[in-house]
Amino acid sequence: MAGFEIAVTIALFLSGVVTGLLLVVAWAVRREDRRVTLAVEAPDRVSRVARRMNGLRRRDLNLEFLRPVR
């Protein structure tokens, strides 16, 4: 019985960690979408992590066709 309780506790903890990460990434993506900052470098650490987790990289962007907020 104790093994079952430990397994449930670990599962709940890990699901909380995953849910927290997803919420932070969703918040960062929404914030960047509102600020239209995808054409420039990530403004902060949370945005950099969210871009990395989503697989978004700035490669060969032509700023002539993109209008950054700055």
For the cut 60, the answer to whether the pLDDT of residue 62 exceeds it is: yes
Each domain of the chain, given as residue ranges in start order, spans: 2-54
24, 46 in Cβ contact below 8 A?
A: yes
- Alpha carbon distance 3, 26 (integer Å): 35
Measure the N-to-C terminal CA separation of the chain; round to a whole number of Å: 59
pTM of the predicted protein model: 0.65
What pLDDT shows up at residue 3? Answer: 92
Share of the chain above pLDDT 90, in %: 34
* Dist. CA 30–CA 37, nearest whole Å: 11
Q: DSSP assignment, residue 60?
A: S
* Nearest-angstrom CA–CA distance, 16 and 10: 10
